[in-house]
Amino acid sequence: MPFTTLSRRGFGLLTAALLATSSLTVPALAETPPGVLVVGQIAEPQSLDPHAVTAVNDFRILMNVYDGLVRYKAGTLEVEPALATGWEISADGTAYTFTLREGVSFHDGSAFDAEAVVFNFDRMLKDDHPYHDTGPFPLSFFFSAVQSVEAVDAKTVRFTLNEPYAPFLSNLAYPTGLIVSPAAVMEHGKEFGRHPSGTGPFRFAEWRANEAVVVERNPGYWDGEAASDAVIYRPITDANTRVAEMLAGGIDMMVEVPPTALSQFQGDAFKVAEQAGPHVWFLILNAKEGPFADKRVRQAANYAINKEALVNDVLEGTAEVAAGPTPPAFAWAYNEALEPYPYDPEKARALLAEAGAEGAELTFYVTEGGSGMLDPVAMGTAIQADLAAVGLNVKIETYEWNTFLGNVNPGLEGKADMAEMAWMTNDPDTLPFLALRTDAWPDKGGFNSGYYSNPKVDELLEAARVSTDQSERARLYKEMQVIVHDDAPWVFVANWKQNAVTSAAVQGFALEPSFFLLLKNVAKN
């Protein structure tokens, strides 16, 4: 046989290759030791400077490295003391005086005191502050009501607001209100975001670009030491790859599990956690012109869309049907009496006939993705079909997220009749105040892209914003929800339930309604 040499050589080559590969595969996968928790993140963080970032993905690290003056009580969206042990609000609601916790120091060893708090807010809010150039600080407008911050003494700090602003406390509990070490900002300047220092249960250890952010236990943490030695955050942008890493044991915990992948985590090896959050997914309806200028047509759209089918079939149960503009996660401000619009195509048809809008042509802006938008293309298509069933002829225009925002935020007038939108907020004030008031129309700098206007709603929202009494605010918000529900400026579709999967070895984990990932009490055995 002339070719035996060749085959033998080829065979030898193949064997060598196989041996080489198998020598690579001999050691079992390097398991992370117990006590080290590996978390699958959805992206590389932008920065670990809490004042410079906007993404929930980054908050998941920051909330474990820093503390704020206040925080949300576990399992709620109500504020409780953290670095401040207590506070007083002046009768007119414009001065907040905080008493600070004694004996707390930053991870870099510098002391936490009133001057540090002043530094934090001045850096963000004052253009002439020597460290203002370590920004930009995109969410600093959360504190735009703050006129001045002063250290009364080492353990007392006073915020003076230019007008009463009820969401102030819950904004302080948001990551933008976390307290950073002034000494570290002075040392690292613009690079502070890569050399973070706070007071939180974990301190920063290492950031390997595009591989991992490592934080380790902060010994002597004022609120009890963390249960884990360290947490490693891995950025894995592709959802399928993240699922595969979870299945293969490369990560101990993942968030934002795609609905279609949840079934793979049933069984004893994994635990699935779910928590509804302050999120609402809705359709903005153009109330200024076209068919939706008629309230009956807007209500008809609410009746025509099968929201149960959307949350159960398209979103595979990862959301609940929304009843109104305020998510139920804001338990204290949510009107329990509100019922979602039932799925009733007959009633929708009747309303459309009454309004003379049968067979109307509608332009519908749909986004391809985006923060909190869930499965926007599939949802948009299902909504289009539901509206077609009651005789509305909907034409979909799909845009990439940033382009979409650039089209929707300046207002729908002259362009579209409806658009998808989703918001995740930390206070019941934020969304309606920015997106439902007359003074929030796009030309006035707000997000009321559908031009809804009801003087009573305006009045209620303005009053709720300046009241410092939570029960009074609750009453105002509940009344607002009833009116908005009836006026139907939006189609109220879904409240997202955030989900997470952990391996069975992970103990003590729970998701928070704030959607923050708090890992202090989480252990891996």
Partner 1 sequence: MGGYIVKRLVSAVPVLVGITVIVFTIMALIPGDPATAILGSYATPENVERLNRELGLDRPLVSQYFIWLGNLAQGDLGRSFALNRPVLDEVLERFSATLVLAGAAFVLCAVTGIAAGVVSAARQYGWADKAITVAVILGISVPSFFLGMMMILLFAVRLRWLPVSGMYEIYGGGDLKDLLRHLAMPALALSVVATGVIARLTRAAMLEVLRQDFIRTARAKGVGEGRVIWGHALRAAMVSVIPVLGIQAGFVLSGAVYIEMVFQWPGIGRMLVDAILKRDILLVQGGVVFVAGCYVVFNILVDVAQSLLDPRIRT
DSSP per-residue codes, 45-95: -S-S-TTT---HHHHHHHHHH--BSEEEPTTSS-EEESSEEEEEE-TTS-E
Instruction: For the chain, give the number of residues.
Output: 525
Closest CA to 204 of 47, 90, 319: 47
Closest CA to 175 of 45, 61, 75, 326: 61
Q: Report helix, strand or coil for 147.
A: strand
Closest CA to 490 of 420, 443, 387: 420
- Give whichever of 5 and 263 is closer to partner 1, judged by the CB atom: 5
Cα–Cα distance, 84 to 62 (Å, whole number) = 18
* 238 within 8 A of 41, measured Cβ to Cβ: no
Taking the complex as a whole, how short is the minimal distance between the CB of residue 58 and partner 1, in angstroms?
A: 10
- Give whichever of 341 and 515 is closer to partner 1, judged by the CB atom: 515
Taking the complex as a whole, how short is the minimal distance between the CB of residue 505 and partner 1, in angstroms?
A: 15
Closest CA to 283 of 394, 390, 167: 394
- Give whichever of 106 and 447 is closer to partner 1, judged by the CB atom: 447
Taking the complex as a whole, how short is the minimal distance between the CB of residue 80 and partner 1, in angstroms?
A: 26
Closest CA to 482 of 259, 269, 348, 324: 324
Q: Hey, what amino acid is at 145?
A: A
Taking the complex as a whole, how short is the minimal distance between the CB of residue 295 and partner 1, in angstroms?
A: 26
Taking the complex as a whole, how short is the minimal distance between the CB of residue 141 and partner 1, in angstroms?
A: 6
Taking the complex as a whole, how short is the minimal distance between the CB of residue 43 and partner 1, in angstroms?
A: 7
DSSP code of 120?
H
Handedness of CA 440, 441, 447, 451 (dihedral sign): positive
- Give whichever of 159 and 404 is closer to partner 1, judged by the CB atom: 404
Taking the complex as a whole, how short is the minimal distance between the CB of residue 104 and partner 1, in angstroms?
A: 27
- Give whichever of 98 and 165 is closer to partner 1, judged by the CB atom: 165
- Give whichever of 162 and 237 is closer to partner 1, judged by the CB atom: 237
- Longest CA pairwise span in the chain (Å): 102
Taking the complex as a whole, how short is the minimal distance between the CB of residue 192 and partner 1, in angstroms?
A: 9
- Give whichever of 81 and 135 is closer to partner 1, judged by the CB atom: 135
DSSP bridge pairs for 503? 270
- Give whichever of 251 and 304 is closer to partner 1, judged by the CB atom: 251
